[in-house]
Amino acid sequence: MHETFEHKADIGVRGRGATLGEAFEECASAMFGVMWETKKLGKGKGINVKAEAGSLEQLLLNFLNELLYVKDVEEIALKKASVTTVRKGNGKFLLEGKVFGQSAGKAGQCGPEVKAATLHQLKVEKQGKGWVAQCVVDV
């Protein structure tokens, strides 16, 4: 499950999942939904993504910003992120996955462009039987 939440100047994105990877995927979906009507987008080919950080919160931030980097470089409208691995090794958290989308020229942006994921209200934590991942994105 993913959702957005109100913020004075920007937009909060939140994802919940049974696993940490699912929470990250859902947070990414919330971010994609700010920019596009993702249900109308084609899935397209997968592009490999990686992120690493010293904490889970920084890992989420790095992951979301990596997705935005791929969006800009590949000029694609992002539909879905898939996290295949989240692990800790050598004192760092490592994430591997894929992002899917279609040509941005054919997609037509419906909402504001997300410029970056920020540290504001950044949180990754276990809640009950699942995980929640959130932050505010700069639009």
Q: Which two tokens stand for residue 66?
A: 């990596």
pLDDT at 109: 66
Asked if residues 134 and 13 have their Cβ atoms less than 8 Å apart, the reply is yes
pLDDT digits (tens, 9 = 90+) for 61-90: 999 999 999 999 999 999 999 999 999 999
Instruction: Encode pLDDT of 18-29 as tens digits.
Output: 999 999 999 999
Tokens standing for 63? 């992951």
Q: Where are the beta strands (DSSP E) in the chain?
A: 2-6, 11-17, 46-53, 76-89, 92-103, 116-117, 123-127, 130-138
How far is it, in rounded angstroms, from Cα 135 to Cα 43? 25
Q: What is the DSSP letter of 8?
A: S
pLDDT one-digit tens code per residue, 83-125: 999 999 999 999 999 999 998 876 666 789 999 999 999 999 9
| Confidence band, pLDDT 50/70/90 cuts, at residue 3 | confident
Instruction: Report domain 2-138's class.
Output: alpha beta
